[in-house]
Amino acid sequence: METKEINAKYDVWLNAENMHRDSRNWLSELEFAKDEELFLDDLIKSYTLQLIDSKHFAESKKVIDKLSKIQKETDALLEIVKNHEKGLSIMVDGINEFDKEKAFKNKHVKLIINVKNFLDRYKTIKTELFTVVKGVLKEGKQKRLLE
């Protein structure tokens, strides 16, 4: 994951309360993505035979590989966000550690970008998988109609 350097001033709205809210939202979205990944795995298992059919094999393998890779990223990002949430104490401990607080805010800004990019990629992969499965279902329906 690459992050781009941002020169904007976020100090105004990056307070402990907003960062806590962001972190809780990210945790919620990532936990939901993990649950959704279980559903997607079951979907793949349900249509394995059709997905490995020679007509759909290359496309479905590519999408399934992407899904497998992003599942690992979900776990890693979830841990990063959990640790970030725990680190919020530096912002509310009452001790003025400007360098540490600034570093924490910079880390938060990078997480904003990383989580957004991750969720965008995740949605794209999910759409690709649904498109492949939809094609398999349509093909199966057409075969049944011809019989």
**Given this model, what pLDDT does residue 50 score?**
84
Confidence of residue 144 (pLDDT cuts 50, 70, 90): low
Residue carrying structure tokens 């530096």: 90
**What digits encode the pLDDT tens for the residues 112-134?**
999 999 999 999 999 999 999 98
Q: Which amino acid is at 67?
A: L
Give the separation between CA 61 and CA 13, rounded to whole angstroms: 43
Distance CA 56, CA 68 (A): 18
Domain boundaries, the chain: 16-146
pTM: 0.82
| Other CB atoms within 10 A of residue 81 CB | 22
The answer to whether residues 81 and 23 touch, using CB atoms and an 8 Å cutoff, is: yes
Tokens for 81, please give them.
């966000």
**What's the one-letter identity of residue 62?**
K
Query: To which residue do tokens 């394995």 refer?
Result: 48
Position 41, amino acid: D
As a whole-number percent, the residues of the chain with pLDDT over 90 amount to 50
User: For the chain, first and last CA: distance in Å?
Assistant: 49
Report pLDDT digits (tens) over 69-87. Answer: 999 999 999 999 999 998 8
Note the pLDDT of residue 146. Answer: 65
